[in-house]
Amino acid sequence: MGDKPETLITDGVRLDGRKPKDMRALKIVAGFLENADGSCYLECGSTKVVAAVYGPRQVHPRHATLFDRALVRCKYDMAAFSTDGNRKRPGPDRRSREISKVSSEALSSVVFTEAYPRTAIDVFIEIIQADASTRVNGLTAASVALADAGIPMRDMLVALSFGKIYGTQDGKPAEVVAVDMDKPEDNWGLADVALAYMPNLERFVLCQMDGRLTHDEFRDGLEMIKKPAQELYKLQKEALRKKYKG
C-alpha cells in the first residue's frame, strides 16, 4: 500500500470515480464448483471470493456434535496470492479465526439448524483476491452457496460495508459516509462498518466496526446501504435462478 492520499473523496467523487452511495461492480455466479454441494463465485470490484458448502453431513470430530441442531462451521481464508504485498502468509491467523467465528455465528442464525440435528454444515470462504470488504462479500457468497446446496434458510444473508472517508468539498475539508469500502478507504478511512442482514426479515446478524462514527453518521450509513443491499439480494436471486432454470 502506498502513502496516505491527501483526499479519498473530492466534491463527492471517490478515488475510483464512485459516488458515496455506489457499490463497486458486482457479479454473482451460483454453482461455481462441481465438487461441493453448493457454491458461489462473487466479485465486488477487485475483491473476488469463492464459497463452498458441504453438508448436512456427519460431524467430525464426533464430540462436536450438537444433538438438537446442525453445527454450522465457517472457515474464512485469504489465499496467499490474494494480496499485492507480503502481508499474507498462508494458513490461519488471528484475523481469519475471528472472521471465521463471526461468520459461523451469522450463518447459523439464518439456517434452520433444528431441521438437521447431529449433522455438520461446513462453509468454506476463500478470498482469492482481496481489495477490502472481504468478510461481508464472503458472507453474501456463502448465503448463495447455502441456498445452492438446498439448505433451508429463514432468509438470504446480504452483507456489505460502509464507512467514513475524509476529503474535500468545495475546497474545504469534509468527512463523508460512503458504502462498500475498497482497500485505500479501508486502510486510510476514518471508520468502517461490516454488516450482514436478512433482507426480508430485516434482522441484522453481524455488525462490526473500526474507527469512530457519530449516531447520525451511523444512521446515515444504515440508510445508505438499503438500496445496494436490495440490489445485492436481487443479484443473489438471479444467480440462483440462472443455475436452476438455465
Q: Contact positions toward ligand CDP, by CB under 6 A?
A: 83, 87-88, 95, 130-135, 183, 186, 194
- 136 pairs with which residues across the strands? none
Q: How many residues make up the chain in this entry?
A: 246
Nearest residue (CB) to ligand CDP, 98 versus 114: 98
Query: Could you give the CA distance from residue 24 to residue 46 in angstroms, rounded to a whole number?
Result: 8
DSSP 106: H
Q: How far is the CB of 99 from ligand CDP (least distance, A)?
A: 7
Comparing CB distances to ligand CDP, the nearer of 113 and 133 is 133
CB of 131 to ligand CDP, least distance (A): 6
Taking the complex as a whole, the smallest distance from the CB of residue 162 to ligand CDP amounts, in Å, to: 12
Question: Residue 18 or 135: which CB sits closer to ligand CDP?
Answer: 135
Nearer to ligand CDP, 56 or 184 (CB): 184
Radius of gyration of the CA atoms of the chain, in A: 18
How distant, in Å, are the alpha carbons of 26, 31, 39, 97, 202 from that of 185? 18, 31, 29, 23, 27
In whole angstroms, give the CA distance from residue 229 to residue 177.
16
Nearest distance, CB of residue 166 and ligand CDP, angstroms: 17
